[in-house]
A and B are shown apart, each in its own frame.
Chain A
Amino acid sequence: MSKNPYQVIPATIYEIIEESPTIRTLRLRPERPIEFRTGQFVELTIPGIGEGPFTPSSSHYVKDVMDITIMKTGFVTEHVHKARVGDVVGLRGPYGTCYPLEKFKGRDVLIMGGGVGMAPTRSLFLTLLHDLDDYRSITFLAGARTPADMIYKYQIDEWRRIPKVKFLRSVDKVPEGESWDEEVCLVTKLLNKINIDPHDNPVVVCGPPVMMKFGTFDLLKYGYAPRDIYLSMEKKMYCGIGHCRHCVIGKYYACKDGPVFTYEVIKDEENIWE
């Protein structure tokens, strides 16, 4: 008889990093390693509360621990933000599609991450860094609403020192009392600051729906082909295993056929940005 697909692996929170007023990173040590490919997601259970789909923000080369960066935005995530070091959560997965790294080899890889959408793309970024020689260049465009909302600040200097890596950041606005000496604009406008040949090079987008939508349109204008635009779709991936149908996008399941889709595949489906 096959294994119960809902069986979780208990994981202990060994560290919590407060990234912003609404975003924190749980550093988890599962009872046994959960192997995943960057871009795939896991279901995280807060015992007695509920479960949600999250994409790890750590490299898929790191096996025994896993980072998951989570924004406080709903019922389960509110409880994620109440969790403490030493608490045990449940993990199951990984599920869904990953970023096709083999197609990225030898190319200029562009990553666009907005808000907590920087989490899955950090996993990709760290995985790419592991095999840096395989890629021509990596450009990361990161956006947040305000400087306080920008996550992974403590790693930025280290990342900017890496050869072949370009890391640009922008915030939508700088509220009084906060300081910021980088760009102030929508993250999609950072495209004006870079010079990448869009022909036959991949771009990965993850962020809030409105950023995904207009980011995709801007990338098309920039010259990227729909087949080269990789989107991490946010849908209600309840079960993660194609049984609950909540994440269906037309004939696709976000949990099985995604969450990573090329724009080419889903552009004709309805309501993809909602």
Chain B
Amino acid sequence: MIVSKSEIHAFFKRCQAEGLGGFQQVIVPRRSMVQPRDLFFTALNDKVEMVLESYRTVDPLRALFYFPRERILGGDVPKVKRLVVGAKACDLRGLQVLDKALINAEFVDPCYAAWRRNTTIVTVDCAEIGVSCHCNLVGGKPYAEEGFDLNLTALDVDYYHLSVGSAKGEELLALIQSATTITKASPEEKRLVSENRQAAVRKLQIQNAGLERGENYERLKKADIRIWIEEAQTCCGCGGCTNICPTCYCIILNDETTGKEFIKDKSWDSCQVNGYARVAGGATPRPKMFERFRNRYLCKFVNMPANFGLLGCTGCGRCIDVCAGKIKFTEVIKNVMEAKQVQETEHV
């Protein structure tokens, strides 16, 4: 299906302004006023210019569903009906990890599940590639193939190709149809979708040439520990990488009980800080910085795949941009995977 950009942009603005479709909030990426290259999610209003076709935002999509701090017991379950427009494929893969951990599991996180339930996601293909983007190295694509409600691919300056990925997407499509003109895609337009997507893939391949490292991630675990000490040298343990990661979901719990009602808040935690896994009495399994540094890579490439059947890295590259120690995540993986392998027992 084909829809004009100006019409659908106007439709998203009406969703915000008039509550079309019952949406109480529309969230879109906009440019940073300080650094125009950077995009941030923001609540749409008439002053906000949405930027849908660029690459992923600075803030992970996860943060819209899994807040830095949120009342998890003794508060109201979130009920705001939201429309997120301009999400990217890498972030969607991140939500798939969280879905497995927090919804499709023995226990359900009531807040995350509610935000997921009440939010419709419109993904837009990446037409540009960020300097740290590397989804092609982790089996990802700069466009979403599944998990979205609605997806938009820019055909040219005036039109999007539109596809539906879920029941929520069907509902939204019906609403869009009532407000805009939608036409059937011609074979020529379908070819253009594929061409535009391939162009983005090629950009990624060129950008990341030389960083390919295969998929035998067990090598990360079995690498000589000295390579990790070397790679972690400039890591200061700030935890920026975990805060900005689309798949990190570690939390701590705070008891806020005041009266008779039991109240609990959850807040993001980071495995990069020393106190993370420390138990009462002081013992901690990873007292050294390089051990915590290594743990993050093992969590993403060994443990999460074992737990969820999904890589914990979606190739968004945010951890590279945020790093105070200028550590290049992709280079670390390559260096470690190519390093000398030793028996696991030599670590313990």
Interface residues of A (CB under 8 A from B): 1-2, 4-8, 10, 45-52, 73-77, 90, 208-209, 234-236, 238-239, 241-248, 250-251, 256, 268, 270-271, 274
- In the assembled complex, the Cα of A208 lies from the Cα of B250 at a distance in Å of 26
Contacts of A4 in B (CB 8 A): 72-73, 110
- B310 contacts the other chain (CB 8 A): no
With contacts A234-B283, A244-B250 known, what are 14 further pairs, Cβ within 8 A? A6-B264, A7-B73, A8-B73, A8-B262, A52-B280, A73-B281, A74-B280, A208-B281, A209-B283, A238-B253, A242-B105, A246-B276, A248-B303, A270-B348
- B102 contacts the other chain (CB 8 A): yes
State which of B258, B281, B285, B286 has its C-beta within 8 Å of the C-beta of A74.
B281
Residues facing A in B237-289 (CB within 8 A) are: 249-258, 262, 264, 269, 271, 276-281, 283-286
Contacts of B277 in A (CB 8 A): 235-236, 246-247
- B101 contacts the other chain (CB 8 A): yes
Number of B interface residues in the complex (CB < 8 A):
43
- B18 contacts the other chain (CB 8 A): no
Given contacts A236-B278, A239-B251, contact A6 B283 (CB under 8 A): no
- B302 contacts the other chain (CB 8 A): yes
CB distance from A49 to the nearest CB of B (A): 6
Interface residues of B (CB under 8 A from A): 72-73, 101-102, 105-110, 113, 249-258, 262, 264, 269, 271, 276-281, 283-286, 299, 302-303, 306-307, 344, 347-348
- In the assembled complex, the Cα of A243 lies from the Cα of B110 at a distance in Å of 12
Residue ID in chain A nearest B280 by CB atoms: A74
Please state if B256 and A73 are interface contacts (CB–CB under 8 Å). no
Contacts of A46 in B (CB 8 A): 255
Given contacts A235-B277, A238-B252, A251-B303, contact A271 B286 (CB under 8 A): yes
Given contacts A50-B255, A248-B299, A250-B303, contact A243 B280 (CB under 8 A): no
State which of B109, B258, B347 has its C-beta within 8 Å of the C-beta of A48.
B258
- In the assembled complex, the Cα of A256 lies from the Cα of B284 at a distance in Å of 20
- In the assembled complex, the Cα of A208 lies from the Cα of B283 at a distance in Å of 10
Contacts of A268 in B (CB 8 A): 344
Given contacts A7-B73, A271-B286, contact A243 B251 (CB under 8 A): yes
Contacts of A239 in B (CB 8 A): 251, 253
Please state if A242 and B256 are interface contacts (CB–CB under 8 Å). no
Instruction: Show 5 A/B contacts (Cβ-Cβ < 8 Å), sorted by A.
Output: A5-B108, A45-B257, A245-B250, A270-B344, A270-B347
Interface centre among A1, A268, A274 (most CB of B within 10 A): A274
Please state if B73 and A47 are interface contacts (CB–CB under 8 Å). no
Contacts of A47 in B (CB 8 A): 255, 257, 262
Contacts of A238 in B (CB 8 A): 251-253
CB distance from B261 to the nearest CB of A (A): 9
- In the assembled complex, the Cα of A76 lies from the Cα of B254 at a distance in Å of 11
CB distance from A90 to the nearest CB of B (A): 5
State which of A73, A77, A256, A271 has its C-beta within 8 Å of the C-beta of B285.
A271
Given contacts A49-B255, A246-B277, A251-B302, contact A271 B105 (CB under 8 A): no
Residue ID in chain A nearest B117 by CB atoms: A1
Contacts of A236 in B (CB 8 A): 276-279
CB distance from A177 to the nearest CB of B (A): 26
Closest 9 CB pairs of A and B: A74-B280, A251-B306, A271-B285, A241-B107, A47-B257, A6-B73, A5-B107, A274-B285, A73-B280
